[in-house]
């Protein structure tokens, strides 16, 4: 009998790990309730901690600010070009 694979969103994974951490419930119990293998939960936990450092990096916030600035400049350029196109169409 073939089992269907269940996909969990990032929010669902984080919520499951948060409940495990905050309630102190054993991984095996949490897995039993969710129909997961413990190795999956341990892998999620490893990925969370390995990627967690990115949340504290300042360079990512600087990069985000730079990208937002570029978007604003491009939006202004699009608005200007739309104006030019409208003028040409009127003539």
Q: For 77-89, write each residue's pLDDT tens digit.
A: 999 999 999 999 9
* 40 shares a domain with 8: yes
User: How many structural domains is the chain composed of?
Assistant: 2
Measured CA to CA, the distance from residue 21 to residue 82 in angstroms comes to 53
- Parent domain of 5: 1-56
Determine the Cα–Cα distance for residues 25 and 16; give it in Å rounded to an integer. 11
Report yes or no on 36 lying in a domain.
Answer: yes
pLDDT at 84: 94
Question: For the segment 55-75, what is each residue's pLDDT rounded down to a tens digit?
Answer: 676 666 778 888 899 999 999
Residues 49 and 5 in one domain: yes
> Which pTM value belongs to this model?
0.52
The secondary element (H helix, E strand) that includes residue 33 is helix 27-34
Q: Is the domain of 50 the same as that of 88?
A: no
């Amino acid at each position: 009998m073939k089992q269907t694979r269940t996909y969990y969103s990032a929010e669902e994974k984080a919520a499951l790990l948060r409940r495990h951490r905050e309630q102190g419930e054993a991984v095996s119990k949490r897995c039993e309730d969710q129909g997961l293998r413990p190795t999956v939960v341990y892998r999620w936990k490893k990925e969370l901690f390995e990627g967690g450092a990115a949340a504290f990096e300042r360079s990512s916030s600087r990069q985000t600010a730079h990208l937002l600035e570029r978007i604003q400049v491009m939006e202004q350029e699009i608005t200007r070009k739309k104006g030019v196109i409208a003028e040409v169409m009127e003539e």
